[in-house]
Chain A
Amino acid sequence: MSDNQLEQFRAETKQWLEANCPESMRRPIQEEDDVCWGGRNFKFQSDDQKAWLDRMAERGWTTPTWPKEYGGGGLSREEAKVLKEEMKNIGARPPLTSFGISMLGPALLKFGTHEQKQEHIPKIVRGEIRWCQGYSEPNAGSDLASLGTKAEDKGDHFLINGQKIWTSYADKADWIFCLVRTGPKEPKHTGISFILFDMESKGVSTKPIKLISGYSPFCETFFDDVEVPKANLLGELNKGWTIAKYLLTHERAMIGDMGLPAPLTPMARECVGVDSNNQLQDKALRADLAAHEIDGLAFALTMERAGDEAKAGASLGAFSSMLKYYGTELNKSRHELILKLKGSDALEWEGQASQNGKIAKQWLRTKANSIEGGTSEVMLNIVSKRILELPDA
């Protein structure tokens, strides 16, 4: 695409966004309720939130680079970058956030049949079906491949029995993408299949688990003689591990991508105070803040570089594990820093002044960043084996 065409695309996009992004959708996401997850039972916060989703979905811009054939935007990476920049310029919120977009979609597009794509992709694009991820089990966390939930071949369907855990939003999701054991006698990585099914199927039940942050975003999920049609298998039987890993690279890139967060300077100046040189009173904290902001800048530029390298044809592969490790550890230290800037006020848990402990709860939520989607230790294992090629014990 020539620079001219790209500039024209930019101009048109700007104009369209200006005309179609409701004013109230141009404010930063403040809390969980501001996020549009979509799904059968989703309650829109406002008419604006629904209009914004519908307008973007109609153009496929909820998933800008996905093929037009299945309802996606069909944009090139360059165009998608322009769209992202123009949205950022007016402060537009993402119209839709979902595991369908960030996790399942890329795997479906790569491994799904035409029929499977036709059935599922448009509903993801339009936010009609909300997906959850059934990977982890009580005894299969970091060692995911030792999972035991089994799927038995019953001729025209699979019969699924077992338990998942830490299933984010399982109680709100419509469908689940799930790892199941179909080859009990095969070595652990080669007996796993990747299967999709409706959470309303008979025999599926969920039980919410409360987090240290007080939120309850995830569940135990039980399968008791759940019948799933054979056509719901994604990819080949016993080849699910490859798909699972492919999906994880997308998940990791997403979790790691904290973007370039807003500078903490205004909060620091307000909470810590400045001296006659216009510097923060607390010099030690000032140095910590500067070091953190520099790390944040270096990381945001690294995300950008990884994107640019992908555009130039490089594959991200295990580099996504480095990004996940670095981005999540950085986000944790950012929230520790916020706690230091605010002092004891940051620990208020209830009451109006603290908006019911918003800062404390967000701080605690970030502790999960380096666990969910694969722990930091596991990311370091992957970098050392796959990138540095250090040997196994």
Chain B
Amino acid sequence: MALVLTEEQTLLKDSASGFFAERSPISSLRDLRDSYDSQGYKSDLWQEMAEMGFTSLLLSEDEGGTGFGFVGAGIVAEEMAKTLAPSPFIASSIVATSLLKATKNAHLSDVASGQKIATLAVDETGHHSPYTPKTTSDSDGKVSGNKTFVPEGKAADFVIVTADRPGGFALYLVEKDATGFSAEQTIMADSRGWAKLSFDNTPATLLASGDAAKAILANALSKANIILSAELLGLSQAAFDMTVNYLKERKQFGQIIGTFQSLQHRAAHMFSEIETTRSIVLAALQAADSKDVDDQRLAIMASAAKARASKMAELVSNEAIQMHGGIGMTDEYDIGFFIKRARAVQNLYGGYHYHLDRFASLNGY
């Protein structure tokens, strides 16, 4: 498949770009942060995203979706990231949707329509280690344990939880008003809707167990990491564009700082890192849509894309601040929001070294 967007995909990109620029500029995230909003996103924006069809990109038209698949979802994630628009898009419309689809769960249509929010609770420490949960369940499906770094954990109507069940690994679905369940908002650097969850003998529905559950989770995490790579690409591109514009405006020593070759070369180097990342992200998105790509190959592409995007985003977000000088350090200026979001996305579902390690293992070394 050619590594270019089709006409339809380009239209989607243009409409997503216009939509987020108008409906959710960076000031919107700033408002949410300053008002200590516990939901982490604005309901009316989410409603409009659903009307645009963004919540059902992964469902085919027959399934009631828009049929854009992962390339479409990557496009939306990238454009959304350019204005750092906060929404449950990735947690609910990508990760939970993939899992509910794979387990043929009846909540799928409510989640795809955006009416209900769902999320995955997988991490238990600051390090991603998805297949060895300490959270347990008994054979009746009562879940006990703690999860951390759960995106939209406070807003979610359903939580998909990993647990160690007698006989092996399992995926469960927990409803937000189930007994023994509680969600506590975690205020993190990126000002988004994170939460810590706890389960105490909480009744849950079994979605999948054993190796099948692991395979379903692995597949969903591969896809999630590919979309997160697209988000990293989008936010880096926006931070880079802001920085290049600043280089063309700011004067010191009687000249525009963009005339200094040391800054020009660093900017040109960033450009090359962004463009090479763009290629691997697009190839990974196409792989996620392809029926000819097996789980192993998908996992390789996902780890390659996430590692690459994480390294690139780290470079670009740091350089963005440095090249702004003092103003880059001020809260009033928007560039700081990018580095904070970048690190959160880099960490979610495994950071740079996690994915390097996985890439090496999958390739036989």
Contact = CB atoms under 8 A, between A and B. Distances in A.
A278 interface: yes
Interface residue range, chain A = 35 or more
Contact of A286 (B268, B272, B275, B360): B360
B267 A294 contact: no
Interface in B132-182: none
Contacts, number: 131
B248 interface: yes
Given A298-B277, A305-B4, A287 B357 contact: yes
Nearest to B311: A291
A160 B276 CA distance: 44
B4 A391 contact: no
Interface in B173-195: none
A294 B304 contact: yes
Nearest to A309: B4
B94 to A, nearest CB: 22
A377 B264 contact: no
B13 interface: no
Interface stretch (B53-61, B79-87, B205-213, B255-263): B255-263
B3 A279 contact: no
A380 B268 contact: yes
Interface in B1-17: 2-4
Interface residues of B, number: 41
A125 to B, nearest CB: 28
Interface of A: 263, 265, 268-269, 274, 278-280, 286-287, 289-291, 293-295, 297-299, 301-302, 304-305, 308-309, 311-312, 319, 322, 325-326, 377, 379-381, 383-385, 387-393
B222 to A, nearest CB: 15
A326 B357 contact: no
B356 interface: yes
A263 B363 contact: yes
12 contacts: A290-B365, A293-B359, A298-B277, A301-B282, A302-B276, A304-B3, A304-B279, A308-B4, A381-B268, A388-B271, A391-B258, A392-B259
Nearest to B284: A301
Contacts of B360: 279-280, 286-287, 289-290
Contact of B248 (A265, A379, A391): A391
B260 to A, nearest CB: 8
A290 B357 contact: yes
A278 B357 contact: no
Interface string B265-294: 101110110011111101100000000000
Nearest to A319: B275
A326 B359 CA distance: 22
Nearest to B259: A393
B325 interface: no
A311 B359 contact: no
A308 B307 contact: no
